[in-house]
Amino acid sequence: MANNTIEDFATAPGETLRESLEALGMSQVELAERTGLDKKTINQIIKGVEPLSHNTALALEKVLRIPARFWVNLEANYRAYLTRVEEQERLTEYADWARDFPYPDMVKNGFIEAASKAEEKAMHLLRYFGVSTPQQWNTCYAEMHLELSYRKSKHIEAKLAGLSSWLRQGELLAQQTETAEFNAEKFKENLVEIRKLTTAPASEFAPKIKELCAEAGVIYQLIPELPGQGISGVMRWFNKRPMIQQSLLFKTNDHFWFTFFHEAKHVLQNRKKSIFLEGANADQEDQAREEEANQFASDLLIPPSTWKDFITQTSDFSSTVINAFASKLNIHPGIVSGRLLREKKLAYHQPAAKLRSKLKWA
C-alpha cells in the first residue's frame, strides 16, 4: 500500500481472459474443450469468483500462447489488490478504536510515526503494538494493567489506551536491551551503588542506573510519560527478566528516586505473576506489598534511625540544616526536603522546599 492508500485499480485475470477469447473469436465452451478445464470453472474465473491457479495458467499458455507467468502475476496482483481493499475497509472500521489513543503525544515522544487520517493511525497503531486487529490488542493489552505492580497518581485514573501505549514503548526498547541473568543478590549490591548517584546530574545517573541494573539482570527503561496517565513507575517481568519502567511524572528528584527504589523492591519480591491495582481493587496482600515497597524506598534513601534522630532533635528545617544532614548521608538535599514535605514537617512555600531538583527531558 503506497502512502497508505489503495492503488486505483488492478486488472482481474478473468477480464483479460475474456478479452483474449474475444480477440481470438473463441468461446468459453471451446476453451474448455481445448484445455480440459470444466466450463463452470472458466466461467467463474472470468467472473472473478474463482482464482486462476498455476495449472490453469499452464493450460492457457498452451492454448492462448500467452505465457503462464503472465497469468500467474496477473492473478497475484489482483488478489493482493483485493486484500488491500478489504484491509482499507477494516481500517475504516478501526478508526474509532484509534481515536482513543493519545496519538499526537506518541508522535511527539517518538513512539510512532505521524499520520493525519484515523485509518492511517489505526494501521500504525496495529504495527506499533504488533497485533493484527483491535481485538488482538484487547487480548494482549486490555487486561495487562492487572498484571502489573505500579505507582500512579491518586488523582488521575490511567486510561487503558494511553497506559498500554507507554508500556508498549518499554517492551520495544526492552527487546533491544541486553542484560545478565537476573541475580537478586547482585541487584541488592548494585542498589547501594545506585543510591550514591542521587547527588549526580540526570545526564550521569540515568545511563548509570541502566548499566547497574543490567549487570544484575534487570531491564531499566526511562520513558517519557503520556498526558493524563498518572504513571510514575511500573515493575513487571518481560521475557523472563524483571523490568522497571519509569517516567518523570512528578518532575522532581525526590519523587524520581523514591519511585525507583519502590519498584526495585518489587523486583526483589520476585512476584512474577502478581496482580496489583492501587486503590479499592487491591487486596490486603497487594496493599501489604506496596507498603513494604514504600518502606524499603524510604529506609534505603534515609536509614530509619537516622531519620528519627533528625526529626526529633530539631524543628528548624532550614536549607542550611537540610544541606548539612544530606551531606552526612551523601544524598541529595532535595530527597530530604521531599520527605519533610510528605510528612508535613515542611511547607511548600518555605525556601527549603526549593532544594528539590527539577528534572526534565533533554
Say if residue 7's pLDDT is above 50.
no
Question: Sorting pLDDT into bands at 50, 70 and 90, what band is 358?
Answer: very high
Q: Which residue, 355, 359, 298, 299, is CA-closest to 326?
A: 355
Distance CA 303, CA 336 (A): 12
- Average pLDDT for the chain: 89
Question: Sorting pLDDT into bands at 50, 70 and 90, what band is 5?
Answer: very low
pLDDT of residue 247: 93
Same-domain pairing of 56 and 162: no
- Paired with 235 in beta bridges are 149, 244
The verdict on residue 361 lying in a domain is no
Q: Largest Cα–Cα distance of the chain, in whole Å?
A: 108
The verdict on residue 252 lying in a domain is yes
Same-domain pairing of 319 and 289: no
The verdict on residue 360 lying in a domain is no
Same-domain pairing of 148 and 276: yes
Segment 188-245, tens digit of pLDDT: 999 999 999 999 999 999 999 999 999 999 999 999 999 877 888 999 999 889 999 9
Residue 268 in contact with residue 297, Cβ under 8 Å?
no
Domain containing residue 7: 2-93
The verdict on residue 202 lying in a domain is yes
Q: Which residue, 174, 360, 102, is CA-closest to 249?
A: 360
Question: How large is the average pLDDT for residues 154-167?
Answer: 75
Among 6-20, 140-154, 213-227, name the one with the lowest average pLDDT. Answer: 140-154
Same-domain pairing of 160 and 227: yes
pLDDT of residue 288: 85
Same-domain pairing of 129 and 159: no
Same-domain pairing of 138 and 155: no
CATH of residue 26:
1.10.260.40
Segment 49-106, tens digit of pLDDT: 999 999 999 999 999 999 999 999 999 999 999 988 888 888 888 999 999 999 999 9
The verdict on residue 362 lying in a domain is no
The verdict on residue 308 lying in a domain is yes
Same-domain pairing of 332 and 272: no
Same-domain pairing of 321 and 211: no
Same-domain pairing of 253 and 346: no
Last residue of a domain, one of 142, 168, 200: 142
Distance CA 177, CA 179 (A): 7
Same-domain pairing of 323 and 181: no
Residue 237 in contact with residue 272, Cβ under 8 Å?
yes
Same-domain pairing of 74 and 47: yes
Question: Sorting pLDDT into bands at 50, 70 and 90, what band is 151?
Answer: low
Among 5-9, 115-119, 124-128, 161-165, name the one with the lowest average pLDDT. Answer: 5-9
